[in-house]
């Protein structure tokens, strides 16, 4: 498995921040996509990632927050998640990141 400490912004397709204990569809939080990986996000989810969903700042903030709390981060081969207080944060890597 990957380590959150080794993940770079370039590897991140999207991030999610929302209320802990709720679903992650976007009704209780927000998905943000990387401008560099916007096309991968569109292909992965099956419909266009729009301008208002792109935020490189959100990508960097969420990734840095996870690195600062690495001991609490749960990982799988293509995503990382952590609950901090009442918020759930998720970093989704580009498809094919599992090796």
The pLDDT score that the predictor gives to residue 1 is: 47
Query: Is 2 in a helix, a strand, or coil?
Result: coil
The pLDDT score that the predictor gives to residue 97 is: 80
pTM for the whole structure: 0.93
Contacts of 27 (CB under 8 A, 6+ apart): none
**Tens digits of residue pLDDT in 7-63:** 999 999 999 999 999 999 888 999 999 999 999 999 999 999 999 999 999 999 999
The pLDDT score that the predictor gives to residue 92 is: 97
Confidence of residue 98 (pLDDT cuts 50, 70, 90): confident
């Amino acid at each position: 498995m990957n380590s959150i400490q080794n993940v770079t912004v370039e590897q991140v397709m999207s991030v999610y921040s929302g209320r802990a204990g709720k679903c992650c569809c976007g009704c209780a939080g927000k998905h943000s996509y990387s401008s560099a990986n916007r096309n991968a996000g569109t292909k992965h989810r099956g419909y266009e990632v729009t301008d208002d969903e792109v935020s490189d700042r959100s990508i960097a903030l969420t990734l840095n927050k996870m690195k600062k709390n690495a001991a609490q981060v749960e990982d799988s081969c293509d995503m990382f998640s952590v609950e901090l207080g009442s918020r759930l944060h998720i970093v989704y890597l580009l498809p094919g990141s599992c090796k």
